[in-house]
Amino acid sequence: MVLRNLRRRPLATGLTSVSVALGVALFAAVGALRHAAEHGFQRSAGICDQVVGAKGSPLQLVLSSIYYLGASPGNVSWDLWRELRTWKGVRWAVPVAIGDTHRGYRVVGVSDEFFSRVRLPNGGEGDPLRLAEGRVFDYPPERFEALAAELDAGGDAHLEDHPEVLRAVVGAEAAAGAGLRVGARFAPAHGLEGGAAAERHAEAEVEVVGVLEPTGTPIDRAVFVPVGLYHLLAGHRPTAETATGGARDPRGLSAIYLRTVPGMYQIRIWRRLNDRLDAQSARPVDEVRKLFRLVGGLDLALRAISALVVVVAVAGVVAALTNTMAARRREFAVLRALGARRRTLLGLVTAESAAIAFLGGVLGLVLAGVLAAVASEYVRRNTGVALSVLPRPADLALVGAVTLAGALAGLLPAVRAYRTEPARVLASQL
Amino acid sequence: MPEPAILVEDAVKRWRSGGEVHELRLPRLEVAPGERVALMGASGSGKTTLLNLVGGLLTPDAGRVVVAGVEVTALGEAARDRFRAEHVGYLFQTFHLLDGYTALENVELGAAFTRRLRRGARERAEALLRRLGLGERLHHPPSRLSIGQQARVALARALVDHPAVLLADEPTGALDEASAAVVLELVLDSAAEVGATVLCATHDPEVAAAFDRTVHLGAAGPPPSRSGS
């Protein structure tokens, strides 16, 4: 009977439930995305305990070195990396150089340890990086110094004569997006938005030797080359005034990924690094948490607005129902004459309101799913962070809450149905 | 004498209509089970009011109403609603069929408010409508039925749950003479078929003549008289 009454007014029912749906969709999508985004970013942040980089904003360091977003705050020296490896409590330290791009994908210099040591958080021991095909490069960073010296000395030494350093291992999405299969050759472009032929490192074509499996992290969108190679490429060679070993020295490292022994060492190493004048250490997980706390105000505002939309929509349902009450007086009177109780009419109208709200709620979740899927695809394309936006129990609670709100608000018009005096209405011979 | 189907004792009901105060005074009305009684009286004499007192839609200011062995005046509102659902069928002058429902659904509504009667309501409604010659019109909305057909649907709705009492308020008032006669006959026959006692308000003496007897309401009217039976 409730459904029949709703079907009698398809336009009003449709419009009001769609308006509820929009509010619910916004509310649920914002919530789901925030949750998924934080989760996704945290997962990516977990590849190391600490990121060491130049002094500056720790958030900028984390964003640039883990997510390859924005510019790096500066460089740290190779010496720091060498020193760090000897520190007690350091499990591994991977030197990282970021700067070049290839077809929009970041070219990231790392040591071979990156592939063997990095673990992606999965709740337990962590997942190692796996190769979909090919192999990783295994040219230890130490050997680059000798090579660099040889090249700098001039003479007959050319980079092309050292194919063993001109290697790349490519993230899954970069491989697909830039067509970098095993065996492909490319010349990385210098700088973030590079791409013009003149800016390419024409002297060095790099050969792809491996492709990684998808990870759902920015790793998917990166092209990894041996970290030492960076400093052999034109544009990264030091000039007289920058060869100081400081933060502006292009031979430096953008960052160092650090994994330490958990517990006391972690804190001690972090303090020790941050006491230095030439470096800082940031904990990616903390920085991401801070970032989301920062953004939290925004999504709280968004959720407040969408909650308001829901409230307005429910009010719309009530208004629509209330408008029909006068026209339905006769119907209510007849139902009373047929033996319907006042409470039955109260329930009928309340149920109609609740049903519209419920319909809107369910529709809203579907819409939220679509919205979240679109948004998470956007995030993945731009950061490589895969968001798993799944229906959450909170969403079902949301539908429940909206339905309840619909029912409660429906009491308003329902009271008018309740108050119908059948004898009077029927006597008026409408 | 068996227990009356309808018993009204010393009933007084005042109401306001068009700025005037009307009053119904009925020292005694007794209707035997299965009896068919016409109510006559000037407008404002309380015909409709009496029907509503019997149906429990109104309560008297004083007096007692007993219908089908149930003391209606002793019941609370919810209990009167239940009583009405179980024992009373209403037939209105303008039928008051609900537009959003098909003919069949309108009839089903007649049995919708008591759990006991809900089972099989659709089948009973359909059978009743077929018997009344509306087998082809089951799924039409009332607005697409002729006025005579609407009267039949309304009648079916009133009788589908086999009420003890059928309350009819000018059931032929909206009909032309020819269909009025047909509908009146249907009302009386169908009521007899389900064994319902009929109380019917009318201002038409010809209609009243078809009933077992006529009760005149209003101070000016002649005292209750028996005719026929």
Which distant-in-sequence residues (6+ apart) come within 8 Å of A296 by Cβ? A34
The band of A328, judged by pLDDT with boundaries at 50, 70 and 90, is confident
pLDDT of residue B226: 45
Which residue among A4, A340, A344 sits closest to B101, beta carbon to beta carbon? A4
pLDDT digits (tens, 9 = 90+) for A225-273: 988 787 776 555 555 454 444 444 556 889 999 999 988 888 999 999 9
Please answer yes or no on whether B112 and A1 come within 8 Å at the CB atom: yes
> E strands within chain B?
6-17, 20-31, 36-40, 62-67, 70-71, 88-91, 165-169, 197-201, 213-216
Say which CATH number the domain at B53 has: 3.40.50.300
Q: Yes or no: say if A399 and A307 are a contact pair by the CB < 8 Å rule.
A: no
Please answer yes or no on whether B96 and A334 come within 8 Å at the CB atom: yes
Which residues of B sit within 8 Å Cβ distance of A? Answer: 17, 48-49, 52, 55, 57-58, 77-78, 81-82, 84-86, 88, 90, 92-94, 96, 98, 100-101, 105, 109-110, 112-114, 157
Domain that holds residue B208: 33-59+76-216
Chain A residues touching B157 at Cβ < 8 A = 338
Q: Yes or no: say if B17 and B48 are a contact pair by the CB < 8 Å rule.
A: no
Average pLDDT value over all residues in chain A: 84
Please answer yes or no on whether B78 and A341 come within 8 Å at the CB atom: yes
Q: Yes or no: say if A354 and A406 are a contact pair by the CB < 8 Å rule.
A: yes
Please answer yes or no on whether B52 and A423 come within 8 Å at the CB atom: yes
Chain B residues touching A331 at Cβ < 8 A = 98
Tokens of B144: 């697409």
pLDDT digits (tens, 9 = 90+) for A85-142: 999 999 999 999 988 788 888 899 999 889 999 998 877 778 899 999 999 888 777 7
- Structural domain tally of chain B? 1
The one-letter amino acid code at B141 reads P
Which residue among B93, B110, B157 sits closest to A429, beta carbon to beta carbon? B93
Query: In this structure, is residue B148 part of a structural domain?
Result: yes
Mean pLDDT of B61-74: 92
Please answer yes or no on whether B58 and A423 come within 8 Å at the CB atom: yes
Q: How far is A338 from chain B (nearest CA, A)?
A: 6
Which residue among B77, B93, B109 sits closest to A338, beta carbon to beta carbon? B109
Tokens of A368: 């939220």
pLDDT of residue A191: 53
In chain B, whose CA is at the least distance from the CA of A333? B96
Query: In this structure, is residue B209 part of a structural domain?
Result: yes
Please answer yes or no on whether B48 and A336 come within 8 Å at the CB atom: no
Which residues of A sit within 8 Å Cβ distance of B? Answer: 1, 4-5, 8, 330-331, 333-344, 422-423, 426-427, 429-430
Average pLDDT value over all residues in chain B: 87
Please answer yes or no on whether B96 and A339 come within 8 Å at the CB atom: no
pLDDT digits (tens, 9 = 90+) for A150-194: 776 666 667 777 777 888 999 999 999 888 999 998 887 765 444
In chain A, whose CA is at the least distance from the CA of B108? A338
Least confident of A79-83, A201-205, B208-212: A201-205
Query: In this structure, is residue B28 part of a structural domain?
Result: no
Which residue among A337, A343, A430 sits closest to B57, beta carbon to beta carbon? A337
Higher pLDDT, B104 or A39: B104
Residue among A123, A121, A171, A162 nearest A143 (CA): A162
Q: What are the domain boundaries of chain A?
A: 2-40+297-427, 50-282
pLDDT of residue B1: 53
Query: In this structure, is residue B21 part of a structural domain?
Result: no
Please answer yes or no on whether B81 and A336 come within 8 Å at the CB atom: yes
**Number of CB pairs < 8 Å for A and B?**
65
3-state secondary structure of B196: coil
Which distant-in-sequence residues (6+ apart) come within 8 Å of A229 by Cβ? A109, A144, A165, A166, A204, A206
Whole-number percent of chain B with pLDDT over 90: 48
CB atoms within 10 A of CB A368: 27
Chain A residues touching B55 at Cβ < 8 A = 337
Query: In this structure, is residue B188 part of a structural domain?
Result: yes
pLDDT of residue A195: 41
Query: In this structure, is residue B102 part of a structural domain?
Result: yes
Query: In this structure, is residue B228 part of a structural domain?
Result: no
